[in-house]
Amino acid sequence: MKTRITVQATLFYLLFLIVSTIGYTQDSANVTTYIQENDILYRQRDITEYMRERCKLDIYYPKNSRGFSTVVWFHGGGLRAGNKSIPETLKESGLAVVTVNYRLFPKVKCPAYIDDAAAAVAWVFHNIEKYGGDPNKIFVSGHSAGGYLTSMIGLDKSYLKKYNIDANSIAGLIPFSGHTITHFTVREERGISGTQVVVDEFAPIFHIRKDAPPLLLITGDREMEMLGRYEENAYMYRMMLVIGHENTELYELDGFNHGGMAAPAFYLLKKYVKSFEKKE
């Protein structure tokens, strides 16, 4: 399904979701408290000092709860900046949130940061039951560069396979305004201009497949987005349908630019996760 949400419709939709979320939170707040544990090292073997600095995650989860869904969240920043933080909109929603730091350019080059993303997601699969979560309900999301990492590890199965995880075990991929072509930082590492389109093994769209996890693509307004980001995602959407993937959706948030689209997109993410829980 391809959907364009206008500014007016977005505001109405957000109001509806906020009211719904408040009701949900108030009900759950009577019985649920949340715990946050910070700076957990998700790599244990052959680690460098820079890995010790960057390869850490925070986990926020409902105390004394079992079987909850988990969202793994990757920050943006062009693969060269940014830090982990728990998105406020995802707090007190009955979900666990795992937010991840990964190594950055220029201290590392591709595919180091993609491998970090895979290692972090694998850590969640191997450990979430200890916190009460259901390993069958792990969703992966991120904004911009984080959206790129989301799509890469979810579509190219080799990254998670290295950590004994089948990428198809991911319950859903929800990239926010992520590159579907080869990331501009990866191109810069090779001396290629940011306006030169490249599609190779470091492009999520290179790895489209019929059996991929459910995919929710969200972008800002096509006239306000960064470097044709909407059009990249629209092509990904179309090609996933062409190859027979039956669970790909695309949302364009009219009136929101690349940075501003994340705020409303979080409500779509929560709705998406809840819709999967209702199917059980």
Encode pLDDT of 146-176 as tens digits: 999 999 999 999 999 999 999 999 999 999 9
CB of 205 closer than 8 Å to CB of 199 = yes
Percent of the chain past pLDDT 90, that is, above it, reads 86
Q: What are the φ and ψ backbone dihedral angles of 142, each rounded to 5 degrees?
A: 175, 165
Q: DSSP E strands: which ranges in the chain?
A: 2-5, 34-41, 56-62, 68-74, 96-100, 133-143, 172-176, 215-220, 248-253
> Measured between alpha carbons, how far is residue 171 from residues 98, 205, 236, 277 in Å?
15, 19, 19, 10
* pTM to 2 decimal places: 0.92
Encode pLDDT of 5-19 as tens digits: 765 565 655 555 555
Encode pLDDT of 74-99 as tens digits: 999 999 999 999 999 999 999 999 99
Instruction: Answer yes or no: is pLDDT of 24 > 90.
Output: no
Q: What is the residue type of 153?
A: I
The residues that bridge with 26 in the sheet, in sequence order, are none
**2-278 is a CATH 3.40.640.10 domain:** no
CB of 214 closer than 8 Å to CB of 173 = yes
195 — pLDDT class (breaks 50, 70, 90)? very high
What are the structural domain ranges in the chain?
Answer: 2-278
Average pLDDT, the chain: 93
Closest CA to 261 of 12, 14, 61, 2: 14
Neighbours of 280 (CB within 10 A): 8
- Per the structure block, which two tokens stand in for 34? 């949340």
**Residue scoring higher pLDDT (248 or 280):** 248
Q: Please report, to the nearest 10 degrees, the dihedral formed by the alpha carbons of residues 203, 205, 208, 213 taken in order.
A: 80
Return the pLDDT at 9.
60
Instruction: Answer yes or no: is pLDDT of 26 > 50.
Output: no
Instruction: Answer yes or no: is pLDDT of 215 > 90.
Output: yes
